[in-house]
Structure 1
Amino acid sequence: MASALDLFDLKGKTALVTGASRGIGRAVATGLAEAGADVALLARGTTALERLAGEVESLGRRALVLTCDVNDSDQIRQAARTTFAEFGALDVLVNNAGGIGHAGPFLDLDFDDWRRVLRLNLESTVHACHVFGAHMVERGGGSVINISSIAGLGGTPMLAHYAVTKAAVISLTRTLAAEWAAAGVRVNALAPGWVRTDLTRAFLADPDASAGLLAAVPSGAIGDPSDVVGSVVYLAGDASRGVTGSCLVSDGGTTCFVGGPQLLGFLQHGRIPV
């Protein structure tokens, strides 16, 4: 019988991470390799991917660099062909590539803003699930992990277009989980909160915006890409073999907190006389 730690061991498995060149994707790719998986690294920036590949290989794992624009379905199909030729099969797919584009009030976002974000965050995930999911269904197993966001779990002023795509990713995740469960393919979503990446730099660099965001996080800390890694390793392997159709939230308590920043300030001072 496998030990509890063995359930998190990914030795012998192969994984592919989109948007792997930086931020959450980079941390996840490295974490999967540390857990024992060979990793295909997919993004547009070849130089950054090659540096990451060196780190993966230094851990004793195989790395495959896939220069690919996820906005182009033909490039995704070519990346799949290369992955299967190199690795033979794929066990874990992490759909991480995404972006915000312009942020602003709903009425200030034009249709080009919507089209760009819908294409990058949702359509690319659909294309990757279609190509790699078909492979997993045919071979009778695999784990798909779609990186969503807490923006997809509720109203998100100034980020309507981004929030809509992330909500759609969660819906897609649950639908595919239901369709593919009988084939042995698990599909789950992961919803991080605010994490320090290139994507969020502009928000967190503004002192007022950063203070406002932090005030709504009960843990009192903005996340780091490394905070996401353990959740992905869990969803990738046998530790979560009974889990599919879930949305695992990693947000320092943000979405469970309904009292508002003002109440949090009182709570952090301890006992409140009434």
Structure 2
Amino acid sequence: MSAVEGKRVIITGASRGIGEAAARLLAEQGAKVVLAARGGEAIKKIAEEIVAAGGEASAFPCDVSSYTAVAALVKHTVDTFGGVDVLVNNAGVIEPIAPLIESDPEEWAKVVDINIKGVYYGMRAAAPEMLKVGGGTIINISSGAAYAPLDGWSQYCTTKAGALMLTRSGHKELGDKGIRVVGLSPGTVATEMQVAIKSSGINPVSKLDFSVHIPAEWVAKTIAFLMGPGGDEYLGSDFSLKTNEGRMAVGFPGLDG
């Protein structure tokens, strides 16, 4: 059995982009996937398409900024598939992009609710269920923004740095209990987030041509890789697709390829 086949996987932010690509790929490889997002109709359609193609999938509308909602998502997964083996904390937002002193405090705080609290809530709700089955894997989608500030991205850089510390804390506290916690820093990905970034015109990332961004399917394949033994040496840290080492480990061309 592969590292993916038969695994019961929760994917947040699954209505599009990385989350959708991951749900489709993991289902193709035999996982039982639960798609979560605020857009209930979108994830319902994707889940139906996965099932029609012979996979196992369920859709559950969820706002990750609410612990009650995330706990209900985990319960739905247990009720539907009998447990939780993998959590992919993918839900995240970057807007509003604005200089710190011009940012809207309430909107800035909403980014914290999703990008940090949402990751914590997922880990807090899923980890006890993983312990019941002897362990599991938690993959937190990270970013290079966790390591360096960028103009207009105070909300994103701060929250991604916080998510990285949750990855480190999770590994420290749960690693010896059988729960593998790892971050995934994909670099720039061709999703709707990049459209918002480009339209902002702020900082060098907004100047990049859309053609340089990697496809969401690459990130999905990397999630599958990290679910297996290939991810073991990166536990408690971020695996990066912005390096030749990372790309070649998953089987992608190097940066110069």
Tell me the TM-score normalised to structure 2 length: 0.87
1:198 Cα deviation from its structure 2 partner: 1.6
Query: Partner amino acid for 1:187?
Result: V
1:193-212 residue pairs with structure 2 within 5 A? 193-204=187-198
Query: Partner amino acid for 1:55?
Result: E
Note if 1:69 corresponds to 2:63: yes
- Partner residue, 1:98: 92
Q: Go from structure 1 to structure 2 and tell me whether the alpha carbon gap of 1:101 and 1:207 turns closer, same or farther (over 3 Å shift).
A: closer
Count the aligned residue pairs. Answer: 245
- Partner residue, 2:236: 245
For 1:199, what is the secondary structure of its paired residue? helix
- Partner residue, 1:56: 50
User: Which of residues 150, 154, 175 in structure 2 aligns to 1:160?
Assistant: 154
Q: Is the Cα–Cα contact under 8 Å of residues 201 and 207 in structure 2 kept in the other structure?
A: no
Could you tell me which runs of 5 or more consecutive residues in structure 2 were left unpaired when the two chains were aligned: 245-255
Distance in 1 of aligned mates of 2:202 and 2:69 = 41
1:148 Cα deviation from its structure 2 partner: 1.3
Distance in 2 of aligned mates of 1:168 and 1:146 = 11
- Partner residue, 2:39: 45
Query: Partner amino acid for 1:116?
Result: K
User: Which of residues 232, 241, 256 in structure 1 aligns to 2:223?
Assistant: 232
Q: Is the Cα–Cα contact under 8 Å of residues 203 and 210 in structure 1 kept in the other structure?
A: no
1:175 Cα deviation from its structure 2 partner: 1.0
Distance in 1 of aligned mates of 2:118 and 2:208 = 31
Q: Is the Cα–Cα contact under 8 Å of residues 204 and 210 in structure 1 kept in the other structure?
A: no
Query: Partner amino acid for 1:64?
Result: S
Distance in 2 of aligned mates of 1:111 and 1:81 = 33
Q: Is the Cα–Cα contact under 8 Å of residues 139 and 184 in structure 2 kept in the other structure?
A: yes
Note if 1:136 corresponds to 2:127: no
- Partner residue, 1:256: none
Distance in 2 of aligned mates of 1:11 and 1:146 = 20
User: Which of residues 53, 75, 82 in structure 2 aligns to 1:81?
Assistant: 75
Could you tell me which runs of 5 or more consecutive residues in structure 1 were left unpaired when the two chains were aligned: 1-5, 254-267, 269-274
For 2:51, what is the secondary structure of its paired residue? helix
- Partner residue, 2:249: none
Distance in 2 of aligned mates of 1:239 and 1:36 = 18
Query: Partner amino acid for 1:56?
Result: I
Distance in 2 of aligned mates of 1:167 and 1:142 = 23
Q: Go from structure 1 to structure 2 and tell me whether the alpha carbon gap of 1:208 and 1:105 turns closer, same or farther (over 3 Å shift).
A: closer
Distance in 1 of aligned mates of 2:205 and 2:233 = 39
User: Which of residues 164, 178, 188 in structure 1 aligns to 2:172?
Assistant: 178
Note if 1:110 corresponds to 2:110: no
Distance in 1 of aligned mates of 2:150 and 2:203 = 14
1:244 Cα deviation from its structure 2 partner: 1.5
For 2:193, what is the secondary structure of its paired residue? coil
For 2:212, what is the secondary structure of its paired residue? coil
Q: Is the Cα–Cα contact under 8 Å of residues 146 and 173 in structure 1 kept in the other structure?
A: yes
- Partner residue, 1:263: none
User: Which of residues 186, 195, 213 in structure 2 aligns to 1:222?
Assistant: 213
Q: Is the Cα–Cα contact under 8 Å of residues 89 and 139 in structure 2 kept in the other structure?
A: yes
1:178 Cα deviation from its structure 2 partner: 1.3
